[in-house]
Each structure stands twice: as C-alpha cells, then as structure tokens.
Amino acid sequence: MTPAAWARAGAAGPAAGAAGAAGGAAGPAGEQAGPGSRACIASSGLAARVRLAALPTPLVAAPRLARVLGTGPLLIKRDDLTGFAFGGNKARVLEFLVAGAIADGAGTLVAGGAPGSNFCAAAAAAAQRAGLGCQLVIAGHPAPPPPALALALSWGAVVRWTRSPERESVDGGLPAAAADLASRGQRPYLIPRGGATALGAMGYLLAAFELRQQLAEHGSGPARVVVAVGSGGTLAGLVAGNVLLGRPWTLFGASVSRPPDVAAARVLTLAGECLRMLGSAGPEFAAAAGLPRCGAAADLSAADVTVDDARGAGHGLPSPEASALAEQAMRTEGLMVDPVYTAKALATVRRCAPGDNVVFWHTGGVLDVVAAATGDRR
C-alpha cells in the first residue's frame, strides 16, 4: 500500500466515541431478520443471492493427515478454495449479505472487526463486485495494516478506527458509522462482526446440501463434521442445514474466540433464526438461492451442536499444539492451515474423533498462513 492510502486509512476518524448511541438507526442486518432481509426474500430471485464463490468447492481425501490425527477416513471440504478475495468461508456468507444490501437499496456496506479480519477484507471486495461502497470499523488505533486490511484498502474500503484495542469496540462503532452515513443522505447496510446473521448463515445452510451431494457421490457414511467457530455464522448455517437434511452428521465447532458455551448458544440462536427465515421466505427464495426442496425443519435442540474449546492462549494467539498440526498438515498433504482458525480446529478434530469418519471443513485463512510462514505479525 502506498503511504497516501495508509494516511487515508487513518484519516477517517474515530467512531468509538458514539458507541451504542445510534443503535437502531442503521438499518437492516442486525441479529434479527429486519426489514432489509425480508425485502431480500420477498423480492425477485435475482436478489436472493449474488454469486461470489466458485462452487462446489472440492471434497478431498487426506489419508496421510488422517494417520497423524488418529481419525478414521478424513475428507477435507476445501472452502479455502472458494476463489474470492482470499475470503475462504466468507465468500458464501457474503453472497447473501450483498444480495440483502442490494434488495434494501443500500449504497454502502458497513462492516467491522480486528485489523486482521478476513471478513472485512472479503466484504470490501464483495462491495466492489456489487458496485457498493464499503466502510470498515476497525478495532484499535491507526497503525500499519496487516495483509487483510491492506487488501481491504486496495479494494477501496474506507476505514474508521475505534481507538480501542478491544474487538468489542466495533459493536458500538458499527451503528455509529451507519448513522453517520445516513445523516449524510447515504443508505448504509450494517453487517455485524463476522457477518453472523440469519441471512449470512444461509450461505452455509446451502453448503450443507452441497456436502451431502458430494458425500453421496463419494459413498461415505455418517460423519463427524468439524469446523472452526469465530462469530458462529458458518456453523449456524451448517447446523440449520444438517437439521433440514434429517441430521446425517454430528457437528463439532472449534471455538477460537468465545468460551464454548457462549459460542454454542450463539450458534443455536442463529441457526434457529436462519431456519425461521427460510420457513417464512417461501419457495421463490429457496429456488432462487439454489436450495433443493426439503421438508419442514424439526425443532433445534442443544444436542444439534457441540462446541470444543479451541482458544488455546487466546484469539489470534498461536498455540504450540496448533502450530505443530499446521506443520503436519503441510508436510503430510501440502495443506495450508492458518494459526488463528483452521490449525486450532485440527486440534479439535484430533480430540473429538479418534477412529471416526471425519469431514474437516477448511474455512480458509490463507493470508494468515503466509503471514505465519514469513514471520509477519497479524
């Protein structure tokens, strides 16, 4: 990035001062299905999904890594290969969120996270693809950007720093940023951290159907499916899909940031909202989103998701176990797993599935793989 671009990044000013003051002013994409997401669903098929990811992603066997981890047959769902903006799992989520923004008539995506947020980078690129602006509320003080944020700036995002290092400071900064845009006559579309909304989770509800098809072609039986959990939207969509499919799998989340009970409760809430949204959306939405016909959803229960504590030393901090597994993944399969999410999820695979059929859902993180290999800090 040029010095000028970096200066622009720092110049957008603080957003944390008004934390929480502007709640509700910002628009549709909050935790509940707001008017925007309903508009998306009610409107034409074109609005239901904006294609970003190259799908289906491959499902590949990893027999050498399976031996190291002590699992039975191990398949890897390669969502590190979604082919959009190094976004990994974020590409599927943004397909629905961007469609929601367009259906809402919004002009600017408002998203946020830590400077190393993969979601923020992918949101910036997705906004460009859709002809939208993108404002990012980033935790911390202006500083030289890590790769994800540097790319987001290259993709034209405008950054507002919260001037507080806590990632939670973003939650107040988001509505404040949206209110600021609205006061200047623009129409913002507010996306919570990680894109964790019922609408965003729809991307992984759909992905569950994709996996089922691939496992059928593969001739695989019931499996444990393991995925990293940050904001929880990805696992929530998979839980919703698993329920719709009649629960063919046991789902395990590897929580890398929140305590496992907190993460599990969040995931269940989001999955329930996602199923209700689908239920009230009608057949046009399902058809436009590419969902096959399916029966009514049985009630969710706490048994639909198990979340493991994969935090190690804490969010974003490398753990020796995960680093060793990352090296093993490289040396056995040439597979890249990142220190923040996917390497920690591999530790969960090893803990929860001795001898079992496993699908490891690889969620991406390639920028952090490169940073770790080159010794850059996040």
For ligand PLP, the binding residues (CB under 6 A) are 88-89, 118-119, 194, 196, 228-235, 338, 341-342, 363-365
CA-closest candidate to residue 197, choices 90, 82, 279: 90
Of residues 135 and 255, the one with the C-beta less far from ligand PLP: 255
Of residues 37 and 342, the one with the C-beta less far from ligand PLP: 342
The minimum distance between CB 92 and ligand PLP, in angstroms, equals 10
Kindly report the backbone phi and psi dihedral angles of residue 373, in degrees, each rounded to the nearest multiple of 5, phi listed first.
Answer: -70, -30
The minimum distance between CB 230 and ligand PLP, in angstroms, equals 3
The minimum distance between CB 288 and ligand PLP, in angstroms, equals 23
H/E stretch holding 27: none
The minimum distance between CB 119 and ligand PLP, in angstroms, equals 6
In contact, 78 and 57? CB cutoff 8 Å: yes
Token pair of 118 as six digits: 């993969």
* Total Cβ atoms within 10 A of residue 20: 11
**Amino acid letter for position 94:** L
Instruction: Give the torsion through C-alpha atoms of 73, 66, 70, 358, to 10 deg.
Output: -40
Of residues 94 and 235, the one with the C-beta less far from ligand PLP: 235
Is the Cα dihedral 153, 155, 159, 164 positive or negative? negative
Of residues 179 and 267, the one with the C-beta less far from ligand PLP: 267
Of residues 167 and 179, the one with the C-beta less far from ligand PLP: 167
The minimum distance between CB 160 and ligand PLP, in angstroms, equals 21
Interacting residues of 374 by C-beta distance below 8 A, sequence separation 6+? none
Of residues 8 and 315, the one with the C-beta less far from ligand PLP: 315
The minimum distance between CB 228 and ligand PLP, in angstroms, equals 4
CA-closest candidate to residue 114, choices 83, 141, 85: 141
Strands 74-78 and 59-61: antiparallel
Of residues 118 and 135, the one with the C-beta less far from ligand PLP: 118
Question: Looking up tokens 């901090």, which residue turns up?
Answer: 317
The minimum distance between CB 365 and ligand PLP, in angstroms, equals 3
Of residues 65 and 226, the one with the C-beta less far from ligand PLP: 226
* Total Cβ atoms within 10 A of residue 165: 11
The minimum distance between CB 182 and ligand PLP, in angstroms, equals 26
In contact, 157 and 127? CB cutoff 8 Å: yes
Please compute Rg for the chain using Cα positions: 20
Q: Tell me the C-alpha distance between 348 and 331, whole Å.
A: 19
